[in-house]
Amino acid sequence: MLGLASLCAAALALSACGGGGSTTTTTAAAVSPTTPGVKAGPTDNPCRRQVGGFLKSMKALRGNLAVGLSYEQYAAEMKLLRAAYGRVPVEQLTLDCLYATGAPAERALNEYADAANAWGECLAEAGCTTASIEGALQRKWRIASHYLSEAA
């Protein structure tokens, strides 16, 4: 699940390496992160086209959580979300996209996955009820929602 974040960190580390005889030119726009708080335009943005399906899946999950889901429904939503994540062309994302959208989106996915794992472990444990871990799930979902808002 840490693919986008790892790629971003590696790209940043490589871009910081000293010159040497490389003939590759990198533009400042491809290396510098977007200004915090400034969101990209609609669908004319390549990043939004590349990551949009993944973000849309997470927004759908967030909306469904607001009305309530069973564990089975949540697990099914997570399967769809992971499939959408798998369709993101990570190797084609610019550093701007990774920094402003990809990293917070992946953090959101990780929080949703942590919640799914905690919920599943609870159901497998004798005496554990969903009500007993609801606070922990709500906290993870709230954090995921925050990261999703950063990415969107």
**For the residues 85-92, what does the mean pLDDT come to?**
92
Which of 26-30, 36-40, 71-75, 148-152 is the least confident region?
A: 26-30
Mapped onto helix, strand or coil, the DSSP state of residue 89 is coil
Q: How many domains does the chain have?
A: 1
Instruction: Write down the mean pLDDT value for the chain.
Output: 77
Query: Apex CA 101: angle with CA 92 and CA 7, to 5°?
Result: 50
Which distant-in-sequence residues (6+ apart) come within 8 Å of 106 by Cβ?
A: 1, 2, 3, 4, 5, 85
Which pLDDT does position 2 carry in this prediction? 46
Decide: 130 and 70 in contact? Cβ < 8 Å: no
Range of the domain at 102: 3-151
Mapped onto helix, strand or coil, the DSSP state of residue 32 is coil
Alpha-carbon distances, residue 23 vs 12, 86, 128 (angstroms): 18, 33, 60
Angle between helices 103-124 and 71-86 (to 10 degrees): 150
Higher pLDDT: 38 or 84? It is: 84
